[in-house]
Chain A
Amino acid sequence: MNWMAWTLPTAIFFSTIGSIIVMMTVWEIRSPCIERKGFLPISTTRGDRLFIGLLSSAFIHLFTLGFTSLNIWLALIASVIWLISLMRWG
């Protein structure tokens, strides 16, 4: 694995994403989700909301990094809150 140039933070990042996907799969098998409409303009499934949440979190981080001088951990906290509320009410 040396050629992949792993670092601890990226390993944590990818294992978090990986375990979220595994957990979503288990959740889906145990109780399949029904497409519904929340505050987003389109009706979404659980997986759609996860994708939207992760993609927008990436842009929240980029925006914080590029256009503000705020601490990046604030962006992470904001993203987690955003992701949870999107999953619940999106």
Chain B
Amino acid sequence: MNKVQNNKAWLLVLPVFLLVAFSAIIPLMTVVNYSVQDIFDQNNAYFVGLEWYQEVMSVPRLQDSLARQFFYSGTVLLIEVPLGICVALMMPTRGWTASLSLIVLALPLLIPWNVVGTIWQIFARSDIGLLGYVINGIGIDYNYTNNSVDAWFTVLLMDVWHWTSLIALLCYSGLRAIPDAYYQAARIDRASSWAIFRYIQLPKLQGVLIIGVLLRFMDSFMIYTEPFVLTGGGPGNSTTFLSQTLTKMAIGQFDIGPAAAFSIIYFLIVLLVSWLFFTTITHLDKDKVKEQSHD
């Protein structure tokens, strides 16, 4: 075996590397430097070791917003993924209704985050918003500005409205990619529609679902604008998520040291989760290749 080794193509990656270094690596290193110092101004910075990390992890405000963030991302995934699959299964497959439903589903994805926030901010108000007015009209006391349960309900509903389409569209394309032969075989076996879903459609959707879950996790984990516009993080701190806590700390209070320590922890969590997803995806592909080579 005489394989020619030629790694010159790596030089073509150099410009990208320089860009990433400028926009990500060097700033990240600076953040690490900030996180071990108490900085008053450019000439007054004192080395404090890992004190900020210790402080950041023991402050309840940050622990709470981290817990809230995980709960939020988890709930969002639990609602949107099954709902998206159901929507995709019920969508028409051909004719003008198919095009129409694709367009309708794509619409929320095109609306900018702060506009989504504004829409729901007004829509859910109990005095002038239709949703808030109707909920109060049927006898349920609902006010998202001073009840934290209502605020959570509204923020979750907004996210479901905004992003379920993404899962639905991904699943729709995944479903269309299943060859008809599978369904024919199922019909010959007189498989029930549940069996078709469980043993044909769901396994074939695995790939798109992993990508959908990854995208939704990352998006919901870094959510900022929508709750910021809708509730401003309130009432109290009940809908203040990680990125908002971080922004308040870094820009509002100018606590650069603790904010840097906190963003490093935030970064490590995101890195861990993304790596887990990435490894799962790549290893699923590898397993498939192995299976096929065994056949």
Residues of A within 8 A of B (CB): 2-7, 9-10, 13-14, 42, 51, 55, 58-59, 62, 65-67, 72
Q: Answer yes or no: B70 CB below 8 A from chain A CBs.
A: no
Instruction: Evaluate whether A66 and B54 lie within 8 angstroms (CB atoms) in the complex, with A10-B32, A10-B33 already known.
Output: yes
Residues of B within 8 A of A (CB): 26, 29-30, 32-34, 36-37, 39, 42, 45, 47, 49-50, 53-54, 57-58, 265, 268, 271-272, 275, 279, 283
Query: 5 closest pairs, A vs B, by CB?
Result: A66-B57, A5-B33, A4-B30, A10-B33, A7-B47
The distance in angstroms between the C-alpha atoms of A46 and B151, with both chains bound, is 48
Chain B interface mostly helix, strand, loop or mixed? helix
Minimal Cβ-Cβ distance residue in A for B54: A65
Chain A residues with CB under 8 Å of B45's CB are: 5
Chain B residues with CB under 8 Å of A65's CB are: 50, 53-54, 57
Chain A residues with CB under 8 Å of B283's CB are: 42
Cβ contact within 8 Å between B36 and A7: yes
* Cβ-defined partner of B36 (8 Å) among A10, A51, A59, A66: A10
The distance in angstroms between the C-alpha atoms of A13 and B47, with both chains bound, is 15
Cβ contact within 8 Å between A5 and B37: yes
Chain B residues with CB under 8 Å of A58's CB are: 268
30 contacts between A and B (CB under 8 A): A3-B42, A4-B29, A4-B30, A5-B33, A6-B33, A7-B33, A7-B36, A7-B47, A9-B47, A10-B29, A10-B33, A14-B29, A14-B32, A42-B279, A42-B283, A51-B275, A55-B268, A55-B275, A58-B268, A59-B268, A62-B53, A62-B57, A62-B265, A65-B50, A65-B53, A65-B54, A66-B57, A66-B58, A67-B57, A72-B50
Cβ contact within 8 Å between A5 and B30: yes
Beyond A10-B33, A55-B275, A62-B265, 12 additional pairs, beta carbon < 8 A: A4-B26, A5-B34, A5-B39, A6-B33, A7-B33, A9-B49, A42-B279, A51-B275, A62-B53, A66-B54, A66-B58, A72-B50
Minimal Cβ-Cβ distance residue in B for A69: B54
Chain B residues with CB under 8 Å of A51's CB are: 275
